[in-house]
Chain A
């Protein structure tokens, strides 16, 4: 038996509920008080939660940068739209001719390989489909 005279009263309840050796009269004395009984109930309640719900929902804190990033994206988008609108208000939207003026879309691309044929040397004419 553990001598419990030097322990605070409620620690007797701890030892008792934890299955540690403890003197019965000490437990009786503490359990005869309302505070002792309330403490015992709270310890058992804590134990119940620890034993029966091993994977609680994580303590969740949303990242504090996320709202800031979202607000920044909105501001940048609005600013970009405003600047584009200002530019078009001055110059008007580009026409098809303006849009295609920078490149000649009718010119054929440069050949990448040139093959020369000589008539009579490697020239063969066939008739018909085959």
Chain B
């Protein structure tokens, strides 16, 4: 049995990375990460194995992220500052953010849960309520898609 403290220590970096990529804003991702673990504390950790707990925590994060994105879409947003990427890694990072924005919600989440969260196919399947086979094929398709977009943007 894990306590919320242990889950926080173990999963916070991955949850934060995942939320950063999904939301695209570090401060909001930090706030949402806090919200995730607040909910974990309130709800109580389910009595399952480690994979199940990880999937459960990421499911909370994903739901919060989706709610946040939907709320944001209802409000008109304009960002005034134009920041130019200063090095090739940042350039690639911005290109990736743009490419991710072109993906469907589920494809983007499957990809980010794998790459930013480090979840296994089985854990992603639990989190997104998909089969492992669906996770595998979505992940492959998304990588191919991102690869093509990033190649074209070079």
Q: Does the CB pair B140–A10 fall under 8 Å?
A: yes
Q: Does the CB pair B79–A49 fall under 8 Å?
A: no
B98 within 8 A of A: yes
A14 to B97 CA separation, bound complex (whole angstroms): 21
Shortest beta-carbon distance from B128 to chain A in Å: 15
What count of chain A residues pass the 8 Å CB interface test? 32
Which of A58-66, A96-104, A105-113, A114-122 is found at the contact surface with chain B?
A: A58-66
A60 to B146 CA separation, bound complex (whole angstroms): 19
B73 within 8 A of A: no
- Asked, given contacts A11-B140, A59-B97, whether A53 binds B89 with beta carbons under 8 Å apart, the answer is yes
Which of A25-33, A38-46, A72-80, A87-95 is found at the contact surface with chain B?
A: A38-46
Shortest beta-carbon distance from A15 to chain B in Å: 7
Q: Does the CB pair A57–B120 fall under 8 Å?
A: no
- Asked, given contacts A55-B29, A59-B97, whether A50 binds B115 with beta carbons under 8 Å apart, the answer is yes
Q: Does the CB pair B147–A39 fall under 8 Å?
A: yes
Shortest beta-carbon distance from B119 to chain A in Å: 10
Q: Does the CB pair A60–B147 fall under 8 Å?
A: no
Which chain A residue lies CB-closest to B146? A46
Shortest beta-carbon distance from B58 to chain A in Å: 15
**B63-93: contact bitstring with A at CB < 8 Å (1 yes, 0 no)?**
0000000000000001111111100011011
B42 within 8 A of A: no
Shortest beta-carbon distance from A52 to chain B in Å: 7
Shortest beta-carbon distance from A85 to chain B in Å: 34
Q: Of residues 128 to 154 in B, which have CB atoms within 8 Å of A's CB atoms?
A: 136-137, 139-140, 143-144, 146-147, 150
- Asked, given contacts A10-B140, A19-B120, whether A56 binds B78 with beta carbons under 8 Å apart, the answer is no
A28 to B147 CA separation, bound complex (whole angstroms): 22
A125 within 8 A of B: no
Shortest beta-carbon distance from A122 to chain B in Å: 70
- Asked, given contacts A46-B146, A57-B83, whether A62 binds B90 with beta carbons under 8 Å apart, the answer is no
Would you list the 6 A-B pairs with minimal beta carbon distance, nearest first?
A: A63-B78, A55-B26, A56-B93, A50-B115, A57-B83, A54-B20
B residues whose Cβ falls under 8 Å from a Cβ of A: 16-17, 20-21, 24-26, 29, 78-85, 89-90, 92-94, 96-98, 101, 112, 114-116, 120-121, 136-137, 139-140, 143-144, 146-147, 150
